[in-house]
A and B are shown apart, each in its own frame.
Chain A
């Protein structure tokens, strides 16, 4: 006997909106004493079902854990474990830490690659920086996007409608690295076409120059990063790093140029975790039990409705009974009695019974009570 599994959406006890975007709205929800994130896609938007299905079956430290996905009320949705961390879009990070983050991401992308999967939308908004026992762990979210993803991070071939692959992810990692260290995007534009055009001209863009002109970076940092720009930010996919392995090596070399050993790197990363990540987490808004969901909870909503409907029906019934009783036993009956009284009182049938004993001379003498008795009167009820 098969039992229908209840959707997590129907077990939700509370929900808080986190973000409203053009493609989807994000909610933090709690169900079964566990925190989740609900990504509720707009009607016109959806995700690559095959990719999400495979991601849901994976279990990697640097990857979000999908608990449920599907379609409800005409909307696609994904529910994944809530990740207590800070979005990379909220921060600018030291170069060494940025390189460390990128290496972690490359490791996660390698895991995806082993399943013939690619992210396709690598941007700071899809990276959550967590502090796992004091250790920095970037977590990738929102795999399986349809379309080029965040335009400022998309490789030129993605604008031409090609699906995500290792090379396009490599390009996006380059843009992501620049954003992490510099604090804003390398390419800015007003519209899709402009982004597409600028991505094709990325070879003529010199990130090192931009970093140097900002005056915030040491020469060592700029020179350590320079080979990475050449290996990542290239319009032609063939000019980029061969694969994620090669990129990892390049990152390792860059880290080596900036620090004296693994311990020094770890120390700087730990400092970053303690001073930035944990501090940000302490500032996070406390949890609430607010209920603000974009869908109807089937089971509970049903019960609640029945309770409400029952009371409403009861009240309507009482009102109907009252209305009927007012109509039937009240107004109409008393008016019927009034009608009867009026009808009988205005009957002229008895006028013929006027006594003929009153001579004309006395007929006007109203002081005579016998005349009053003979006076035509409204008929009396027998």
Chain B
């Protein structure tokens, strides 16, 4: 009889504990929804103190840190530490949940972290962060684009070739990602392949007819090609 009473008491305690954790998660979600990120962080952290493997609490905390870092981006303040904090939460979350949505957000977070690291002048691990980001979400063209830009700036011809392949991959997979046309055209232009540069920028212009950079540089490439024809080079 006494054993049964203890069992009931333990079940009740467990139910109360679960109820408390769920209540904190609920509060965290409410705060996150209305943009009260600090309070969301407190609520999710409290829930995680009770249950460190609580998936929703961990995801909520990661998203809260993500949102705080986004705020920093909008205010143009240094955001490296903020993105680092968010990336840490996503890293822990990845051990609990590796769903597509979580991986995609983790991938975006790593893109921003890489970008913030570059802005801070800490470019040593940037490629590694971008590779992680692309591994988590191969459709994250922002990370691919940044990696392409870094490789394109290298003195190594192989890196430049890899950058070219990345941009080709982007424009093939996501034709609306205009920056890739610009950057791919840049590589051709730098290599002196004005014809390919004009082709690439023209393709971009067809997708985004009012894009200022594409308008301008397509015109310059076109003029260059005309002058080459007139000079007999072509």
Please list the residues of chain A having a beta carbon within 8 angstroms of any beta carbon in chain B.
Answer: 318, 322, 325-326, 329-331, 333-335, 337-339, 341-342, 345-346, 348, 351-352, 354-356, 358, 360-361, 363-367, 369, 371-373, 375-378, 380-382
Contact = CB atoms under 8 A, between A and B. Distances in A.
A364 B179 contact: no
Interface in B141-188: 142, 145-146, 149-150, 152-153, 163, 174, 176-179, 182-183, 185-187
B105 A345 contact: yes
21 contacts: A337-B32, A337-B60, A338-B105, A341-B105, A342-B101, A342-B104, A342-B108, A346-B104, A348-B178, A352-B208, A352-B211, A361-B189, A361-B190, A367-B118, A371-B149, A375-B115, A376-B145, A376-B177, A380-B73, A381-B70, A382-B74
Contact of A337 (B33, B115, B153, B182): B33
B112 interface: yes
A377 B115 contact: yes
Contact of A351 (B25, B178, B186): B178
A364 B183 contact: yes
Contacts of A329: 22, 25-26, 29-30
A354 B178 contact: yes
A365 to B, nearest CB: 6
B118 A354 contact: no
A345 B190 CA distance: 31
B231 interface: no
Contacts of A378: 108, 111-112, 142
B190 A364 contact: yes
Main DSSP-derived SS at the B contact region: helix
B91 interface: no
B29 A366 contact: no
Contact of A360 (B15, B67, B176, B190): B190
A357 to B, nearest CB: 8
Given A352-B210, A376-B177, A364 B153 contact: yes
A337 B145 CA distance: 26
B232 interface: no
B29 A338 contact: no
Nearest to B178: A351
A364 B186 contact: yes
Nearest to A378: B108
B34 to A, nearest CB: 11
Interface in B21-79: 22, 25-26, 29-30, 32-33, 55-56, 59-60, 63, 66-67, 70, 73-74, 76
Contacts of B186: 360-361, 363-364
Contacts of A356: 212-213, 215-216
B142 A377 contact: yes
A352 B66 CA distance: 25
Contacts of A348: 174, 176-178
B70 A376 contact: no
Given A354-B178, A360-B189, A376 B142 contact: yes
A330 B101 contact: no
Contacts of A331: 55-56
Given A322-B22, A364-B149, A338 B102 contact: yes
Nearest to A318: B15
A379 to B, nearest CB: 9
Given A330-B26, A366-B149, A378-B111, A351 B208 contact: yes
Contacts of A372: 115, 118-119
B177 A325 contact: no
A96 B115 CA distance: 116
Q: Which 8 A-B pairs have the closest CB atoms?
A: A356-B212, A329-B26, A356-B213, A333-B29, A364-B153, A364-B152, A376-B179, A360-B186
